[in-house]
Amino acid sequence: MSKRSVTLDDLRRHAVARSLFTPTTLPQAIRRLGFVQADPIRAPARAQDLTLRLRVKDYRAGDLEQRYPRLRVDEDYLVNYGFLPREHLALMHPRGARRDWDAATCQRAAAVLDFVREHGEAGPREVQARFDHGRTRNAWGGSSNAVTHLLDGMHYRGLLRVARRVSGLRVYAQVQHVPDERSNAQKADALIDLVLAKYAPLPARSLGQLCSHLAYGAPHLRDEMKRAQQRARERLPHVELDGLRWFWPPGENPAAKRWQFDEQLRLLAPFDPIVWDRLRFEQLWGWAYRFEAYTPAPKRKLGYYALPLLWRGQVLGWGNVTVADGRLQAHLGYVAGRPPRESGYAAALEAELARLSGFLGVASSG
């Protein structure tokens, strides 16, 4: 139990201020976040770019992909797919998979690995040109190239890493992951601390959800993760408010004066750390945000790719942002049905749209 009184307002300030740190370099921002979720939809940019633009000085859309080959960062799997500092990969590798490959698949993987090793790097097209593996069913029930499916599986199992991308397509290289001498219990604890450091403060249910999702990146630690979750509930600082138990990293105090809101308005990515946990979002801001890109258009309430609008510690509404004829177009909605009347809002919104335009390299809507 926290030794100091912690209120819901404290948790709200803590959630916002600790995540929106002073913009820094790209490597430092990824290290501080610990993990950046990836998503291919561009509306108006990919989620990883929208997340990083708020935390990296002078960031532009596509900077991560362009600079990725020179960074000590890898595309990999944690609670979902994204980018994380290479130092964390040892917590999850060697990684097994729920389904073992049959002998024929193992032989194909070995041949592809020899091919990649010989050529240094290779993408699906190069491998396809050398091996004809036909087509297979992907996880969504559609048909995909069997080479792509095999390369995905080799990447997941730690046989390959994504070296770079060309026109959005992964180019792979062989990899040998550095062994981690920690016990499985220590690895599980470290993984929980990693995701907590990104998403804190967290309600107990959300912490449990993240622990469950960690089986995606570390399936071999699934049983140990259940024990680690119980340990986390006992070792982490927490407080109970209105029947919910909230957790945060050791050494942090949500009631400390250091956690303060600023005057900058921000449009957040749907997978931004501040937004990602929908339960926490509703507890802190009193309304339900939903990601509706895969919702049929007639049933959408917020829009295809609504970006939550954060100002002075409150999420007041959302914006759907597009680029038309080289100019930014923003369509805003508000929980209260109208824009706030407080002094400074119009200027803060104009400044954010100007920053977003610069990030995208287009003209501002104003």
Query: Considering its fold, how many domains does the chain have in total?
Result: 3
Write out pLDDT tens, residues 149-182. 999 999 999 999 999 999 889 999 999 998 899 9
Regarding whether 44 and 107 lie in a shared domain, the answer is no
User: Which residue type does 91 have?
Assistant: L
CATH code of 162's domain = 1.10.10
pLDDT band at residue 137 under the 50/70/90 scheme: low
Model confidence pLDDT, tens digit, residues 203-257: 999 999 999 999 999 999 999 999 999 999 999 999 999 999 999 999 999 999 9
Shared domain check, 347 and 270? yes
- Residue 322, exposed/middle/buried by CB under 10 A (0-12, 13-18, 19+)? middle
114 occurs within a structural domain: yes
60 vs 314: CA distance, rounded Å: 26
Q: Tell me whether residue 191 is in a domain.
A: yes
Q: Is residue 67 part of a domain?
A: yes
One domain for residues 276 and 354? yes
Question: Do 352 and 274 share a structural domain?
Answer: yes
Mean pLDDT computed over every residue of the chain = 94
- Do 203 and 329 fall within a single domain? no
Q: Are residues 309 and 235 in the same domain?
A: no
Q: Is residue 260 part of a domain?
A: no
The answer to the question of residue 81 being in a domain is: no
Out of 174, 209, 232, a domain closes at 174
**Comparing 138-142, 198-202, 269-273, which segment has the lowest mean pLDDT?**
138-142
Q: Which of 217, 247, 277 is the last residue of a domain?
A: 247
Q: What is the pLDDT of residue 363?
A: 82
CA dihedral 129, 131, 135, 141 (to 10 degrees): -90
Q: Is 29 contained in some domain?
A: yes
pLDDT for res 141: 46
Pair 69, 194 in one domain: yes
Same domain, 159 and 191: no
Q: Which of 200, 272, 274 is nearest to 232 (CA)?
A: 200
Distance, CA of 348 to CA of 352 (rounded, Å): 6
CA dihedral 327, 333, 338, 342 (to 10 degrees): -70
Domain endpoint, select from 127, 154, 174: 174
- Per-residue pLDDT, averaged over 266-272, amounts to 97
Query: pLDDT value at position 140?
Result: 40
Whether residue 270 is found in the same domain as residue 355: yes
Is residue 220 located within the same domain as residue 287? no
Contacts by residues 337-346 (CB-CB < 8 Å, ≥ 24 positions apart): 340/311, 340/316, 342/312, 344/263, 345/265, 345/311
355 and 271 fall within a common domain: yes
Mean of pLDDT values over 70-74: 98
Q: Report if residue 255 sits inside a domain.
A: no
pTM: 0.93
Q: Is residue 261 part of a domain?
A: no
Q: Which domain holds residue 164?
A: 103-174
Q: Do 110 and 170 belong together in one domain?
A: yes
For 186, the token pair is 């220590």
